[in-house]
Structure 1
Amino acid sequence: MIRRLALLGTLILAAAPALGQGIGALKGHDSDAPVDVSSDHLEVQDKANRAILTGNVRAQQGDLSLAAPRMTAAYLPGQNGGDPQIQRLDASGGVTLVSPSETARSSFAIYDLNRRIITMIGGVTLTRGTNKVSGGRMVYDLNSGRATMDGSAVGGGSAAAGGRVTGRFTVPKRQDQPQSR
């Protein structure tokens, strides 16, 4: 069991490149950088090739962090005694993804490490400064740096928004100009 926990720690730290340097800068993030994970409890289900982390779970890589009450790491067993290879991280129970410039919140998040895609589902909000966009699902492609958001019909966003993506953006402040007479 201790060997399994050590392998899991290596798996998560070495192979979970889910988190880079901010939503706007994730396109070029270093997928080989280590990820630090902490939780109140860890359960390894070796026969199912997964590990379940519960209680104040936090995954951190560089300046980006992912926090949730629960995360599941799905992995493939190591070949010829090698380290397991993580394939996917699922976070649930109220997820917060934070970069230096943005914060995204949702009910669930899925990080597909092979495809390099982070999907946030259920009441998604993305905030940058005073700007805010809300919807039902956000998909962030780390390869292209492109994020797309869908309305509530897809992922359970706000019913008040009528199933649409909504947003509020600041505009530049204008200096008072003299009025002509």
Structure 2
Amino acid sequence: MKTFLLAFGATAAALIAFAPAASQTSALKGHNSNAPVDVAADRIEVQDRADRAVFSGNVVVRQAELTLTAPRLTVAYSNSGGIEIDRIDGSGGVTVKSPSETASGQFAIYDIESRLITLIGNVHLIRGDSNVNGGRLVINLRDGTAVMDGGAPAGVKSQGGRVTGTFTVPQRRD
């Protein structure tokens, strides 16, 4: 069975690397994507004919040092000799945390096959005292890059089409 990795630690290298106070090493470098995935929710509805499971109510997903929380999570899977997760969608306000970073947005999509995580709608990425805000964040787990842009799809709240950020700088003595 495929397990899923909701890693956004690579975003630090791509988005906050130019902030002197931020480390350029991803907090999830070496993350064990084969680690067991634990899911807790108030309710689960298995839609076997649609190859989908819907978790709702205080959903918490943990894998190694990674945690995802959302009010609702849909898991699309294939069932060919065993359950294999293909895609995970979170909605209602999603937060993804690693030991040193937190990303949040209205929606999250993790496409297992393409190894892309997308957060959409009022996206916030925080690492230490530095933060970046925008409408959409796409994290490519294959090459460790991340792209934040200001726009979000029609009907999804965003930051007015702009990316904004606040970054810490080292304190110097005069």
Q: Which residue of 2 aligns with 1:19?
A: 6
Q: Which amino acid aligns with 2:162?
A: R
Q: Identity over the aligned pairs, expressed in percent?
A: 54
Query: Using CA pairs below 8 Å that are at least 6 residues apart, which structure has the higher relative contact order?
Result: 2
Q: Which residue of 2 aligns with 1:57?
A: 59
Matches of 2:59 and 2:98 in 1, distance apart?
17
Cα–Cα, structure 1 residues 54 and 153, in superposed 2: closer, same or farther, change >3 Å?
Answer: closer
Cα–Cα, structure 1 residues 118 and 27, in superposed 2: closer, same or farther, change >3 Å?
Answer: farther
Matches of 1:153 and 1:71 in 2, distance apart?
20
* Other structure's SS at 2:147 match: strand
Alignment TM-score, normalising by the size of structure 2: 0.84
Matches of 1:21 and 1:153 in 2, distance apart?
19
Q: Which amino acid aligns with 2:94?
A: V
Q: Which residue of 2 aligns with 1:9?
A: none
Structure 2 unaligned spans of 5+: 11-25
Q: Which residue of 2 aligns with 1:44?
A: 46
Matches of 1:61 and 1:20 in 2, distance apart?
10
Residue 156 of structure 1 pairs with residue 157 of structure 2: yes
* Other structure's SS at 1:164 match: coil
Matches of 1:71 and 1:106 in 2, distance apart?
14
Q: Which residue of 2 aligns with 1:66?
A: 68
Alignment TM-score, normalising by the size of structure 1: 0.81
* Other structure's SS at 1:16 match: coil
RMSD: 1.7
Question: 1:50-75 CA distances to partner (integer Å, 9 max, x unpaired)?
Answer: 00000000111111111100000001
Q: Which residue of 2 aligns with 1:133?
A: 132
Matches of 2:62 and 2:45 in 1, distance apart?
20
Q: From 79, 88, 91, give the equivalent of 1:77.
A: 79
Displacement after TM superposition at 1:95 (Å) = 0.3
Matches of 1:27 and 1:145 in 2, distance apart?
9
Cα–Cα, structure 1 residues 149 and 30, in superposed 2: closer, same or farther, change >3 Å?
Answer: same
Question: 1:82-111 CA distances to partner (integer Å, 9 max, x unpaired)?
Answer: 211110000000000001111001000000
Displacement after TM superposition at 1:20 (Å) = 4.7
Residue 173 of structure 1 pairs with residue 160 of structure 2: no
Matches of 2:87 and 2:157 in 1, distance apart?
22
Displacement after TM superposition at 1:115 (Å) = 1.0
Q: Which amino acid aligns with 1:157?
A: S
* Rg larger in structure: 1
Matches of 1:25 and 1:171 in 2, distance apart?
20
Count of matched residue positions in the alignment of Structure 1 and Structure 2? 157
Q: Which residue of 2 aligns with 1:95?
A: 94
* Other structure's SS at 2:169 match: coil
- Where do 4+ consecutive residues of structure 1 move more than 4 Å? 25-28
